[in-house]
Amino acid sequence: MADAPIAHARDGSVRGIRRDGVEVYRGIPYASARRFAPPVASTPWGDVLDASSFGPIAPQVGGAQFQPPELMHDEQCLSANVWTPGTTGRRPVMVWIHGGAFRTGSGASPLYEGTTLAARGDVVVITVNYRLGLLGFLAHPSLAVGDGPMGNWGMLDLAEALRWVRDNAGAFGGDPDDVTVFGESAGGAAVTLLCAMPTATGLFHKAVVQSGAALTSGLSDAVALAEQVTRVAGVSDVAQLRDVPVERILAAQRQVEAETSDRTFVPTVDGTVIPTWPSRAVADGSAAGIPMVIGSNVDEWKLWAAADPHSRDLDADRLRRRLERNLPAESVESLIEAVRAARTARGEPSASNDIFYAVESERTFRVPGLRLADAQASHAPTYVYLFGWGSPAMGGWLGACHGLEIAFVFGNQGRGELAGFTGSGPEADALAERMMDAWLAFVRTGDPSAPDLAWPRHDPTTRPTMVFEAISRVEHAPRDDERAALDALLPHP
């Protein structure tokens, strides 16, 4: 312990560990959680805090892949993990928000291990935990105190985490005036939502949205869901859920999610914490002056194939019925024909299951991401990517699935249990170096271009896109037939 690094944070000193020349501080509390209430900023501690291990993670139903199994689950889960080359200086700060559909995950996943990224870029990397599922996103007017929030507790946690970063970055060698937020899936959605939240204004300066699904609910749906939880949990009023043991809360969440396939516990456009739909807010300039990188993966939806085995043997009729769940029935046949024609022209398989995965990937991730890029492009420099590197998992069938790019951004590809998912070897390493350097260039300058590969700003007409594969390159409007066909069918919130 004699050579363990010590940092002097706002609330007291913390003792970390050294790893490959980087100082690591884990499990630092940035706030305390009060059930169905805004977080309370952390308070000073006395002795030096042992920050050698991750703190508890949010209670959750199920669990995300690549999570350390030994971690405790506790409502007091609001902590930050820091990787820094040193506690002196003023380095750019990168704050990562984990994914998991706002219901699973933590900042402790080995996918997000920040040593390589911090060392390569001479930056401070921070991951955070926030409240998830029912505990993080139950919303109902009876939970509000006066004109205060009635939900979005997990999003309020993230805003509080960014305030903690503002107040503590300097203690870890970071610059509080140069903060980039980045995240994937629900984490990418959270980045977009922070851009629309008045309470987060000024707390970050650049943003990266990786496969940021549009996971947001309207208030009426959220209220109905909260009242359904109340009945399932056996209490007479939503506010009484504050006193229900956490095990019963999770059991109620599990039952409600099983009964309600089209709704779940996600951030709510409540008129207070999130005043309006994030895409509308961004279009109106809520993130003006904040450069953004936005992108998705070619085969996003294939990640869930194992949990949906019948998606792999669809016939034409079942494909049509599946797509009609989320798209206008009268347009589904022409959509199928357009996607099939585009895939066939590129020499890609176009059986019914291939069409299904392509449509769901575009509908859920790529089209919302490109709409966000279109909205932001007139307010700040905006850059778009498409990740096409294929996973070796399932004999290579999994392709460039959801979440695959994360390990490359952090430089953790090919390590341990991740190798079977990401692949390994010189080509994988070269791709990781390319992506890390692009993200780091963006963090430092607001432009992700590398000396040997310029990355043009997004233009809604020509759609220049950085395609990340074994050989990365810029393409204009890649896979645009599918995008255009889906974009014409999806509503604008």
State the virtual CA torsion across 418, 391, 102, 309 in degrees, nearest 10.
-120
* Rounded distance between C-alpha atoms, residue 273 and residue 211, angstroms: 23
DSSP class per residue in 138-156: ---GGG--TTS-SS-HHHH
Beta-strand relationship, 22-29 and 79-84: antiparallel
CA dihedral sign, ordered 153, 158, 159, 161: positive
- pTM for this one? 0.96
With contact defined as beta carbons under 8 Å apart, do 84 and 118 qualify?
yes
Q: Give the residue ranges of the chain where pLDDT is below 50.
A: none
* Rounded distance between C-alpha atoms, residue 121 and residue 72, angstroms: 32
CA dihedral sign, ordered 376, 185, 463, 360: negative
What pLDDT, in 10s, does the model give residues 240-293? 999 999 999 999 999 999 988 666 899 999 999 999 999 999 999 999 999 999
Look-up: residue for tokens 């599922």?
133
* Rounded distance between C-alpha atoms, residue 12 and residue 196, angstroms: 32
Ordered alpha helix ranges (H), 3-150: 115-121, 133-137
**DSSP three-state, residue 113:** coil
What is the gyration radius of the CA atoms in the chain, in angstroms?
22
**DSSP three-state, residue 183:** strand
What pLDDT, in 10s, does the model give residues 46-60? 899 999 999 999 999
Query: What's the token pair of residue 398?
Result: 């999994």
* Rounded distance between C-alpha atoms, residue 352 and residue 99, angstroms: 29
**How distant, in Å, are the alpha carbons of 98, 182, 305, 382, 421 from that of 189?**
10, 10, 22, 16, 23
DSSP state of 366: I
**DSSP three-state, residue 121:** helix
pLDDT at residue 162, as a whole number: 98
With contact defined as beta carbons under 8 Å apart, do 426 and 434 qualify?
no
With contact defined as beta carbons under 8 Å apart, do 45 and 11 qualify?
yes
pLDDT at residue 478, as a whole number: 97
* Rounded distance between C-alpha atoms, residue 372 and residue 269, angstroms: 17
Which one of 185, 211, 279, 391 is the catalytic residue?
185
Contacts of 56 (CB under 8 A, 6+ apart): 71, 72, 73, 74, 76, 77, 79, 129
pLDDT at residue 2, as a whole number: 57
5 strand-pairing partners: none
Which one of 140, 205, 379, 402 is the catalytic residue?
402
Neighbours of 19 (CB within 10 A): 14
Write phi, then psi, for 17 (nearest 5 degrees). Answer: -135, 165
Q: Name the nearest CA neighbour of 267 among 257, 275, 256, 258.
A: 275
* Rounded distance between C-alpha atoms, residue 184 and residue 192, angstroms: 11
* Rounded distance between C-alpha atoms, residue 467 and residue 465, angstroms: 6
Q: Name the nearest CA neighbour of 229 among 167, 142, 159, 313.
A: 142
The amino acid occupying position 65 is: Q
Asked about 185 being catalytic, the answer comes back as yes
**DSSP three-state, residue 305:** coil
pLDDT at residue 62, as a whole number: 80
pLDDT at residue 262, as a whole number: 63
Query: What's the token pair of residue 167?
Result: 């107040």
* Rounded distance between C-alpha atoms, residue 85 and residue 325, angstroms: 50
Asked about 402 being catalytic, the answer comes back as yes
DSSP state of 2: T
Neighbours of 322 (CB within 10 A): 20
Domains for the chain: give ranges and CATH numbers. 1-290 (3.40.50.1820), 301-493 (3.40.50.1820)
**Exposed, middle or buried by CB within 10 Å (0-12, 13-18, 19+), for 349?**
exposed
Which one of 113, 257, 300, 482 is the catalytic residue?
300
